[in-house]
Amino acid sequence: MKKSRSRVSLAVGISVLLTGGLGITAFTLNEPAANEPSTARMPKERAAVADRGPAQQRAAQSEVNPVASKAQVTAMTADWKGARLPDGRPKVSDDILKRMKVVSTEQAWGFLDGKGYRNQFAGEWKTIHSDKAVIGRALTAQFMPSNPALEKRMTDAGHAAGHDGQMNTWPIEMLEKRDVYVADGFGKVKDGTLIGGNLGSEIHARTGTGVVFDGTVRDLEELSEIKGFNAFVRGFHPSYIKDEMLTGANTTIRIGEAVVMPGDIVLAKQEGVVFIPAQLAGDLVEDAEVTLLHDLFTKARLADGTYTAGELDKGWDDLDQKIRDDFVGWLKEKKDDLPVPPERVQEIIDGSK
């Protein structure tokens, strides 16, 4: 008897970047398990039913779809043990995102460096509003120079999976509140404008945040009028996007010298952008809050002449006990007026006993 051949599905895996700036997307061959409901083994009627639902969930059934499946995203971010978004990305809580505002670029970089994460910062940006931070969960995308044959196959697969329009709009369809659209546009300026005014408006309506592009945008005047929107980009250009294709969405990408994974927390401020692994975001915020309170206390006591700079310019464990006791008393007095949630201030007070 002639053995039947299972259809092999081709799905996009993690994006790897080689030295010298050459970007290559690694594709993986996935053989459906015997007990999986592969549409290749179903009658047409059943296959049509199985292929209904969110486009991201159907992506794995397409032959060459740049959008990573929920299972792939979950596997990439296995260190995260908390809640997840419908597409598989880690769902760092809105509370942590709100409290992330007090974290400075230097605090984030130093904390991550101490944890062994030394490739999380990218600098040298142009912004629409230099004084407005962008903070949120990363939804990643990777673009490459166009290859007509591959682009056609990927476009057809994406359309079959439920994505509409041009490829550069597909990641935008996936965005949710507090997401930040992070895209590797390989630094392309002319003909590398990933969005303009219209798409910028849609992105902000979906997320309430902004974008980080290793590429360019157009319609600067229109984008600057979108209240609450900001963009960290390599430049601005009046051209339309051309000869560029989407090769990965919700995949691991490179932005400058930084590695970015789906669901990483984006902390974009004047100095640059830090991409914080989701599993470290909570600890970073708590560490930064303690540092912030120490700094505020130090400035207050220097201003009123209670202590000298020499007495206060030490690590916490090296401070005199009377200064540490004074810090706790200051926290109790100011608890409801500090830029840290009162319940968190109380935790610090309790922990100092």
**pLDDT surpasses 50 at 277:** yes
Q: Quick one: which of 272, 282, 321, 313 has its CA closest to 109? A: 272
63 — pLDDT class (breaks 50, 70, 90): low
Cα–Cα distance, 93 to 101 (Å, whole number): 14
Q: What's the burial of 259, exposed, middle or buried (CB within 10 Å: 0-12/13-18/19+)?
A: middle
Strand, coil or helix: 179: strand
Q: Quote the tokens at residue 113.
A: 């460096």
**Cβ pair 184, 253 in contact under 8 A:** yes
Q: What confidence score (pLDDT) does residue 353 get?
A: 60
DSSP code string of 279-307: HHHHHHHHHHHHHHHHHHHHHHHHHTTSS
**pLDDT surpasses 50 at 37:** no
> In this predicted model, which residue has the larger pLDDT, 85 or 37?
85
**Cβ pair 266, 162 in contact under 8 A:** no
> In this predicted model, which residue has the larger pLDDT, 54 or 7?
54
Cα–Cα distance, 147 to 23 (Å, whole number): 13
Cα–Cα distance, 298 to 323 (Å, whole number): 10
Q: What confidence score (pLDDT) does residue 352 get?
A: 78
Domain-wise residue ranges, the chain: 1-91+118-276, 281-351
Q: Which residues of 5-29 are buried (b: 16+ CB within 10 A; e: fewer)?
A: eeeebebbbbbebeeeeebebeeee
Q: Which of 3.40.50.1370, 3.50.30.40, 3.20.20.150, 3.40.50.620 would CATH assign to domain 1-91+118-276?
A: 3.50.30.40
29 — pLDDT class (breaks 50, 70, 90): very low
Tell me the average pLDDT of the chain.
86
**Cβ pair 181, 172 in contact under 8 A:** yes
**pLDDT surpasses 90 at 49:** no
> In this predicted model, which residue has the larger pLDDT, 19 or 65?
65
**Cβ pair 339, 332 in contact under 8 A:** no
Q: What confidence score (pLDDT) does residue 20 get?
A: 35
Neighbours of 313 (CB within 10 A): 12
- Residues 161-219 have pLDDT tens digits of 888 888 999 999 999 999 999 999 999 999 999 999 999 999 999 999 999 999 999 99
**pLDDT surpasses 60 at 265:** yes
**pLDDT surpasses 80 at 293:** yes
* 213-237 average pLDDT score: 98
- Residues 95-140 have pLDDT tens digits of 999 999 999 999 999 999 999 999 999 999 999 999 999 999 999 9
Q: What confidence score (pLDDT) does residue 314 get?
A: 86
180, β-bridge pairs = 138
> In this predicted model, which residue has the larger pLDDT, 139 or 160?
139
> Half-sphere exposure (CA, 13 Å, Cβ side) for 60?
18
Our CA angle for 105, 178, 227, nearest 5°, is 85
Share of the chain above pLDDT 70, in %: 82
Residue position matching structure tokens 């004047």: 270
DSSP 272: E
Q: What confidence score (pLDDT) does residue 2 get?
A: 44
Q: What confidence score (pLDDT) does residue 36 get?
A: 38
> In this predicted model, which residue has the larger pLDDT, 34 or 311?
311
CB proximity list for 273: less than 8 A, separation 6 or greater: 121, 122, 123, 125, 212, 232, 255, 258, 266, 267
